[in-house]
Amino acid sequence: MHWKPQVGSLILILVLSLGLLLPLGGSAADLSSQIGRIRAYTRPAEFDYVSWTVSAVRSKLTGRLLGAGRYISPEQGSQLVRDYLALRDEIVRWEGELSQILADPAYDPPSPEAQAVRETLQQGRTKREDLRPLMEGYVQRQITVALADLGLNRLGTPVPPVLYHAEPDASALIVSPREEIRQAANLMLLPDLTLDQRIAIEERIEGELELSALVVGVGGVGLYPAMIIETGNLNWLYHVIGHEWTHNYLTLRPLGANYFRSPELQTINETVADLSAQDILRAVQGRYYPELLPEDSPPEVAAPAQEETPSRHPIRDRQLEVMGDGDFDFRFEMHLTRVVVDRLLEEGRVGEAEDYMESRREFFWENGYPIRKLNQAYFAFYGSYAAQPGGAAGEEGADLGGQLRALKDTLPKYRRFMRKVAWMWKLEQFQDTFTRYQLQ
């Protein structure tokens, strides 16, 4: 009875995944271009999109054919998610315990204590792998239902379908010119690079190409299925999946298709994805985890409506900026730093800007934020996220973020906001919209 829809869904997954891989193809670096010169230093350490996507698609197709997550109750599914995330945290704890035992100067193999932890750790890992397809399938189903509640679906299913696959870790190399803050490259690297290897890549690019470079950890990658980095935080999990799905949704519409056209459009894309993810998270909380829903933030529930569109987008990521304890306002101080750096760079005082960023990095360190490196590449990456006030965004990015938040508050429904922004592809169109709604 379900054969034809299932076949159509599988074909759609294959087509979308292939579409995602096409822009990433090619093996030879064009050394006459800047990106080609950068990749001359990174190619041995670059992530293999094709192999990962083929493996993830195989896993997702198997899960869909087996109906992973389809035949359990909402209560059972929500408990499954909680148990899986708790198991993940236990595994991390056991890994730390084993590492501490092995690092002890008094360690004398064979150690019954170490062996017991190894066995417990292996049992936990095996259980996690057994549960993963069911857990991921159910999380995908939860978000699919949440999107239907928000009115963003086609015949009851969002396009593209919500698909993700978890990985332990991922990182990306961000490169910016020194004279301005702009992403000149955003390349995903192998997840098992050591810190020393990451620093060596940064230093070679900075020393030999006179660019600003930084390797950052990422929380998600907008492939299809989306890559989501493992976490034990339930809210974070749904937010990142919602963020990446929104990029998938936008990519075959004008806004997402023009992501790389300008830094302003990058900021708009990332901010829309974060604003969308906030609503998706609230909708999931309201239906499946009501105890986690903030009292002043009820989820928007709309009548089902038809919508569209799929995906492509390489690196996306987690914003590591969080508010700290006490009186220190990280987001305010980081925004202040960005404003000063922009002014110094506009005046051509590159060396002074870099000295200032280092002094501010020490200031953040002293206040409990151990930032390894604060440079133009840092701001080129984190400055694209403007869904919250302050942070690493410059003045123009902060203004765009505020106007997009105001636009979303002005429009009555999530789906209306998404439809409006998705079909614009020029900064001028957004500015005209802000003026029309008196949001300037």
DSSP calls for 50-76: HHHHHHHHHHHHHHHHHTTTTSS-HHH
User: Residue 318 above 80 pLDDT?
Assistant: no
Domains held by the chain: number:
1
Domain membership flag for residue 232: no
Of 243, 376, 377, nearest in space to 313 by CA:
243
Distance of alpha carbon 2 from the chain centroid: 33
Domain membership flag for residue 310: no
Long-range pairs of 260-263 with CB within 8 A, sequence gap ≥ 24: 261/425, 262/427, 263/181, 263/182, 263/183, 263/380, 263/384, 263/397
Element (H, E) at 410: helix 395-410
- Identify the pLDDT of residue 153: 79
Average pLDDT score over residue span 193-211: 95
C-alpha 399/C-alpha 334 separation (Å) is 16
User: Residue 273 above 90 pLDDT?
Assistant: yes
- Identify the pLDDT of residue 364: 96
> What does pLDDT average to over the chain?
85
Average pLDDT score over residue span 400-423: 94
Q: Amino acid identity of 5?
A: P
User: Residue 416 above 90 pLDDT?
Assistant: yes
Average pLDDT score over residue span 140-149: 94
What's the token pair of residue 406?
């105001």
Confidence of residue 45 (pLDDT cuts 50, 70, 90): very high
Beta carbons of 70 and 141 less than 8 angstroms apart: yes
- Identify the pLDDT of residue 158: 86
Residues 6 or more apart from 125 whose CB is under 8 A from it? Answer: 91
User: Residue 306 above 60 pLDDT?
Assistant: no
| Reported pTM | 0.85
Domain membership flag for residue 17: yes
Of 382, 380, 143, 175, nearest in space to 276 by CA:
143
pLDDT digit string, tens, across residues 247-270: 999 998 999 999 989 999 999 999
Average pLDDT score over residue span 272-277: 96
Domain membership flag for residue 191: no
Query: How far, in Å, are 101, 249, 280, 433 from residue 110 at the CA level?
Result: 12, 53, 50, 69
Confidence of residue 12 (pLDDT cuts 50, 70, 90): low
Average pLDDT score over residue span 350-379: 96
Domain membership flag for residue 90: yes
User: Residue 315 above 70 pLDDT?
Assistant: no
Confidence of residue 154 (pLDDT cuts 50, 70, 90): low
Could you list the residue range(s) of the whole structural domain that residue 61 is in?
A: 3-24+47-161
- Identify the pLDDT of residue 8: 47
Please report where in the chains the tokens 């359990």 appear, as a residue.
72
Domain membership flag for residue 154: yes
Domain membership flag for residue 314: no
User: Residue 49 above 80 pLDDT?
Assistant: yes
Q: Amino acid identity of 325?
A: D
pLDDT digit string, tens, across residues 94-107: 999 998 888 887 88
Please report where in the chains the tokens 């870099």 appear, as a residue.
354
Domain membership flag for residue 179: no
- Identify the pLDDT of residue 163: 92
More confident position, 18 or 384: 384
Task: List 186's β-bridge partners, or say none.
Answer: 174
Beta carbons of 225 and 57 less than 8 angstroms apart: yes
- Identify the pLDDT of residue 18: 54
Average pLDDT score over residue span 321-350: 85
